[in-house]
Amino acid sequence: MVLRKPGELHYLHEGSKPNTFRLPKIGSSVLALIGNIIGASAQSIDMLLATNTLNGIAAAGQLSFNVVIGELVPKQQRGTYNAIVLSTSIPFAVFGPPIARAFYENVPSLTFRMSYILGVSIVHIPLLLVDGWLRAC
């Protein structure tokens, strides 16, 4: 990266833009994976506090997609891409609470752990998609 004017970054070659975002995005997914593993095996309140702290930090990194879209997508298409990315959370927001309640009521041995077990399996999807998509750019 080269600073040409105050507040303006220019990349030396086109391939370096995605690489700038790849490691932080992968790092936040790895933090979410670690947090969910700790949460699934939690034996105390302290472990649950640790897992929620790690998941909170990971969420901050994962929710910064609009910065990546702002850098990689032309201005005219940013709204469309933001809408596409945000629309992927609709099924989880609508159906997540009833599914979590059903797990809680029907699988008493897992209780709160089921959320973290699902998190361990789901966090691999963005990990693979982000890495593949940013490599393709």
The 10s digit of each residue's pLDDT in 22-76 is 777 788 888 989 999 999 898 999 999 999 999 999 888 877 777 777 777 888 8
Predicted TM-score (pTM) of this structure: 0.67
Contacts of residue 73, Cβ cutoff 8 Å, sequence gap at least 6 = 81
Please report, to the nearest 10 degrees, the dihedral formed by the alpha carbons of residues 20, 24, 25, 31 taken in order: 170
- The runs of H, that is alpha helices, within the chain are 16-40, 45-62, 65-72, 78-87, 90-106, 113-122, 124-136
Residue spans of the domains in the chain: they are 2-136
